[in-house]
Structure 1
């Protein structure tokens, strides 16, 4: 794809203060793979130009938030697996090495492209609410939201969905037995891995909650002291739980010994789960959301994710302007005004489509985007308080992500989470399973912001079996010349991370630059543009403030975008892992010559 230099220049105006330092993949190893250091920001490989007419990629590319999980995926590919088997290995290994971000006590979304059938499918493994989780259960004596109950301990946890997703992938899409794909994660859980800085820092932040619970202390205080960088964290109970999942499938987690221990732990700590709620959990296959942006087909997450709807709105609003011809201030102004409107609609309309009528067709239509675009003044910010917080009639975080493309053309974009740092803080004794605190993603008290500062109303109120609204936005984009897989963590900022990644690919940047791109964000309420330090030049900030924007231009870096791409014209693969995360890794494995 030809690079529009004006577009690239406009985009890079947003990156003042950042330097792209791509690390290329190493030489081919004897097994045919390319390897990068654990702190690598990218990987790439290409084949002889005579292969450029191939209709499938030249190998496999994987980008994830931890080197061990990327390596696990590659191990399974070498064992004869496909992208879906590799996804199981990467997901389960992240559950072992990133308990701060995700785990089998949580849930996730898996966007799949099955090359053989040409089908795209969205596997919804979001957690569900137990029957006990009524809105009243989360209010204190004054009727205010009980924040401790909503984010800590058993009441904050929904019924986990990730184990069911791994079983589903193996049974429906994988080539290998589940126990084979889980083997790397089981080995790492048993033998241990070195603690890194983010785990130590996150534990210090959550220490008071983590140390309330006997099962959590047994894992993270096994040697009598909190986790420290360089120590080896072993999780034998989690290894055994994963073994049971591999041996017995769904029943290995949702029934039997593990289920009994989960139920007993929740009950002991004052929560209320039932055996039939665990045994009754099911993943759901949904039709992905699709729309066009410039030359790209965008395939992304439908509700109960809010990400795809919001991105469709934002990108279709922005199609009314040639962003490449704008200075940084006006480009940022228009992008954030589009964000403002999409996040307002997220708050009002979106929820679990199995429980509420979500007007997806209307919200994602070009006509609706045109109306939203007409409300944007090119030189002035619209205060969020002037966008009504009441529904109008319509007809119609800490988290983790990984991206995979394989040599058959299969693709996986997967985002999984336990919500906040270390989820609920509660590890069920004897299981190694750290439970999520996803109940906080419901509108537990209408109009009250959750831990990420976003609000919700009746559409996202908790009900038994209902899935809480999410911002997770695993996505594919495809043009005549290129395919990219991307996604990110970051709570309510996930949507805008992925959005900026799509805009960057559209401007001709490669996967390394996409992953490293500085970030801006607006979510309607609070009414402020958030920007990483250095993302906006001082004169850009002044211009935005003159338009009426409030700008926080010095926030700490956020997110952890993982992306892989296949350039069909040159038949090359590359991957980018976010340089904000020093333990991430992107890698490429070339397929044997055919």
Structure 2
């Protein structure tokens, strides 16, 4: 399945399918599938597969294309998590941690001025920027797992940056949210706003020649083309001239980290393969699903099911305050995923009444920006990638380093800014996630696989602290046997322990459902807009079928390459 291809991309897509059909031999699953939040990124992935690349090469192409087409959601100035499946009789799973690192000069009181946290310092400008990880991830994916040279996989993104990308409604919406901050930086305003300093008109052309040059240096020199040489020198000079604290050593020392994914057994022979710390998402999902397995959620009406889901989320999110960068703090992962512990948590859920969060032992919650991006791809051999990428808030720190086209992240805001009290959002601080030299901030990004002998699925979405709850709701649709198109479209609600309330999309609950939830002791907070942009894949091994779906809330494009039919 897949959404119709828009006219601007139809020719490129059809040409790619024809090339792929002639180049690929039958294999299991024998087809490829891609789901991304932007049509140009989907086409970049298809083009790379057509050239003989595998899912890992396609992931490089998609990530780089999203860096051009969605500067509000990800980019070379940001980072992300890549969950990998290597095909084989017994699949192997890898997790590539490309989360940004705090500069070596960072310290716990970096954003404290006159005894108080200045929230603007961790949101806007170069002091808010951690050392980017995405460029290293692209180079590592290509060299360790890909079939094609890095230069080949970066070609579509270079072309997009030079020729331009059409401004769409989502770009305009995100730019309007950050307009004031974008205007404050001359380079960001010059590149991403119109000549009057306003949000560009829809369908106007966004060209990024400096970014194209930076990508070309990466294509020629690999990781060194970003983290050393002229690009690195421009980055450090530009950041420090504007008040940042980067050094050439910060860039030279950056490395991705290969970590062991969370692997957690589920019912019916399924296994959850999820994101480990510094992601908080994999543990939260495993905990939530384990608790739900102890509860009759499948047999419940909608209000009762919501009740169970909210209560397991409440308990899972409470434990996030114990998590941080595993290279710096001890993570009690085994205890948090212990079957007896999770059964005890589930047994404490009242089937009819909300559990006040104040009655549970406290643990500090997490704040993070919610405008990331996500994609999923599987190739004909069964290699697969689910990746969630971010620069934190829309357009990151709203600071672009002159001469590079690199829009920097503001991921430093994902640390606990004030270790002695609440952060800028009124949330209690977490010592495990305090600002520290070289640390990676905690994240909720949750690229996720679920696999059994009969099926393979991939899930993921942007959305900050709401990511685990969104993925959980989609996973429940899958476990409930609902059509793949329903998984990313399901109405969303969220609870994260504190604040003690259910946030939900407009229309997620009927008036009678809202009234019944309130009667059970819940406080409901309707949001003014929908959120998230999920991309999913489903490979039914037993039937030999492959499906993909993009969130109807966004502009995403999911496509199945029906190779056998084209032959």
Q: Residues 30 and 400 (structure 1 numbering): CA distance in 2 closer, same or farther, change over 3 Å?
A: closer
- Partner of 1:570, secondary structure, is coil
Q: Residues 22 and 127 (structure 1 numbering): CA distance in 2 closer, same or farther, change over 3 Å?
A: closer
2:177 maps to what in 1? Answer: 205
* CA shift for structure 1 position 570: 1.8
Instruction: Determine the C-alpha separation between the residues in 2 that align with 1:34 and 1:497.
Output: 36
* CA shift for structure 1 position 118: 2.4
Q: 1:176 aligns with which of 148, 159, 163?
A: 148
Given that 2:264 and 2:273 are in contact with CA atoms closer than 8 Å, whether structure 1 keeps it comes out as yes
2:461 maps to what in 1? Answer: 488
* CA shift for structure 1 position 224: 3.8
Instruction: Determine the C-alpha separation between the residues in 2 that align with 1:131 and 1:466.
Output: 9
2:367 maps to what in 1? Answer: none
The number of residue pairs the alignment matches comes to 549
Residues 1:585 and 2:546 aligned together? no
* CA shift for structure 1 position 511: 2.3
2:545 maps to what in 1? Answer: 572
Given that 1:61 and 1:564 are in contact with CA atoms closer than 8 Å, whether structure 2 keeps it comes out as yes
* CA shift for structure 1 position 68: 0.3
1:266 maps to what in 2? Answer: 239
1:33 maps to what in 2? Answer: 17
**Deviates most, 219-228 or 252-261:** 219-228
Alignment of 1:218-237 (within 5 A): 218-221=190-193, 223-226=195-198, 227-237=200-210
Structure 1: gaps (5+ residues): 1-20, 36-44, 46-50, 392-396
Given that 2:183 and 2:197 are in contact with CA atoms closer than 8 Å, whether structure 1 keeps it comes out as no
**Deviates most, 422-431 or 526-535:** 526-535
2:258 maps to what in 1? Answer: 285
* CA shift for structure 1 position 542: 1.2
Residues 1:312 and 2:296 aligned together? no
* CA shift for structure 1 position 368: 1.1
Q: Residues 30 and 139 (structure 1 numbering): CA distance in 2 closer, same or farther, change over 3 Å?
A: closer
Instruction: Determine the C-alpha separation between the residues in 1 that align with 2:290 and 2:61.
Output: 36
Alpha-carbon deviations, 1:220-262, whole Å to 9, x = none? 2463443221110000000010010111011100001111111
Q: Residues 113 and 136 (structure 1 numbering): CA distance in 2 closer, same or farther, change over 3 Å?
A: same
Residues 1:332 and 2:316 aligned together? no
Q: Residues 456 and 364 (structure 1 numbering): CA distance in 2 closer, same or farther, change over 3 Å?
A: farther
Given that 1:530 and 1:551 are in contact with CA atoms closer than 8 Å, whether structure 2 keeps it comes out as yes
Structure 2: gaps (5+ residues): 365-369
1:251 maps to what in 2? Answer: 224
Alignment of 1:102-117 (within 5 A): 102-116=74-88
Q: 1:501 aligns with which of 443, 460, 474?
A: 474
Q: Residues 585 and 23 (structure 1 numbering): CA distance in 2 closer, same or farther, change over 3 Å?
A: closer
Residues 1:124 and 2:108 aligned together? no
1:547 maps to what in 2? Answer: 520
* CA shift for structure 1 position 455: 4.7
Q: 2:297 aligns with which of 323, 340, 351?
A: 323
1:386 maps to what in 2? Answer: 359
Given that 2:2 and 2:550 are in contact with CA atoms closer than 8 Å, whether structure 1 keeps it comes out as no
Alignment of 1:65-214 (within 5 A): 65-116=37-88, 118-141=91-114, 143-214=115-186
Alpha-carbon deviations, 1:414-441, whole Å to 9, x = none? 0000001110000001100000000011
Q: CA RMSD in A?
A: 2.3
**Deviates most, 174-183 or 25-34:** 25-34
1:522 maps to what in 2? Answer: 495
1:467 maps to what in 2? Answer: 440
| Higher RCO, 1 vs 2 (CA within 8 Å, ≥6 residues apart) | 1
